[in-house]
Amino acid sequence: MALDKTEAILLKSFNWSESSRTVVFFTQKFGKLALVDKGGRRFKSKRGRVQSFARLEITFYNSEKETSGYISDIDLIEQFSLEKDGSLGRLSYVSAACELLHQLLPEEEPQEMLYTFFCKFLSLSDQMEKTHLPALFIIFMLKILSQMGYQPSFSYCAGCSKELKAESKKTNFLFSPSRGGIICSTCQTAGEYYIHLSSENLKLLQLMQRSSLNEAELIQIGYQQAIMMIEIIEEHLGFQADLKHRLKSLKFLEKLKNSQLLN
C-alpha cells in the first residue's frame, strides 16, 4: 500500500461497525475521497480524530486492490468553531455546503481551486455577521455551480440568449429549471414548468451571481427571499445535475425562521 498525505475537510461519514466508519473527505490533492476510518469511533484512538468543520492533514494508505484506502494519521490545521452570534444558522449553512459538495463532486478528481474556495467560505461563515450569512451561502452555491458547469442563466434567455434586464418594468420573469434559466416571452412553451421571479429577486440573483464571497456583506437579503432563491437553485440542480435530494441541513432553518437567531 502506498502512503499519501493531503489537506482535507470532512464532508460526510457512514458508520458500519461499533468502532469503524467510512469517511468522505474533500481533499486538496485528490478531490472527493472516501477512506476507511478503522477504530476512529473509539474515544481511546491513538491517533488524531476526524473533526467536522475543520481543515485537517490526513495521512492514509491507498490500496490498489480495494475500493477505499485507510486513514493512518490525522492532524488538525484549523478549526472553524461557528460559535459567533447565530451559531445554529452558521451550522446549518456550513452543513448544507458540505452536503452540496458531497452530492456534486466527482470521485477522486482534483479540484484544488474549488477546495481553496471552500476553505474561504468556511472561514467567512465563522466570522461574518449573521445577517450576511444567507447572501454568503447563495453566492457560494452559485459559484460552485459556475465552476462545475451547472451555472443557471439569470441574465440571458436560456432559449435564445436574449439579454433580460431585471431593471425593466416587467413585474415577473419565468425561470425554467429544465432549460437552466430565465425564459423570454418568445421562447415560453405552453405546459412547461416555470418558477415565477419578481424583478427585485431576479436582480438580486444577478448581483449575487457576479459577486465574490466577501461582497456578501454588501448585499441586503431577507430570510424568506433567501429560502426562495435556494429552492430555485435546488430545482435547477435537480434537472441539470440530477441532484437526488434537497439539502436536508437547510430544513433546520425553517424551525428557526421566526426566532432571533436568523434575524
Say which CATH number the domain at 61 has: 2.40.50.140
Residue 138 shares a structural domain with residue 36 = no
Residue 123 shares a structural domain with residue 27 = no
The three-class DSSP label of residue 238 is: helix
Q: What pLDDT digit, counting tens, does each position of 127-171 carry?
A: 999 999 999 999 999 999 999 999 999 999 999 999 988 765 667
Residue 206 shares a structural domain with residue 139 = yes
Q: Which residues of 79-102 are buried (b: 16+ CB within 10 A; e: fewer)?
A: ebebeeebebbbbbbbbbbbbbbe
Label residue 54 by pLDDT band (50, 70, 90): very high
Say which CATH number the domain at 224 has: 1.20.1440.120
Mean pLDDT rounded to a whole number for the chain: 89
Residue 1 has a pLDDT of 61
Residue 42 has pLDDT above 50, yes or no: yes
Per the CB < 8 A criterion, the answer to whether 73 and 92 are in contact is no
Residue 73 shares a structural domain with residue 103 = no
Tell me which DSSP letter residue 152 carries. Answer: -
Domain membership of residue 174 as a residue range: 87-153+167-262
Residue 260 has a pLDDT of 46
Residue 116 shares a structural domain with residue 205 = yes
Query: How many structural domains does the chain have?
Result: 2
Q: Where among 31, 51, 79 does a domain terminate? A: 79
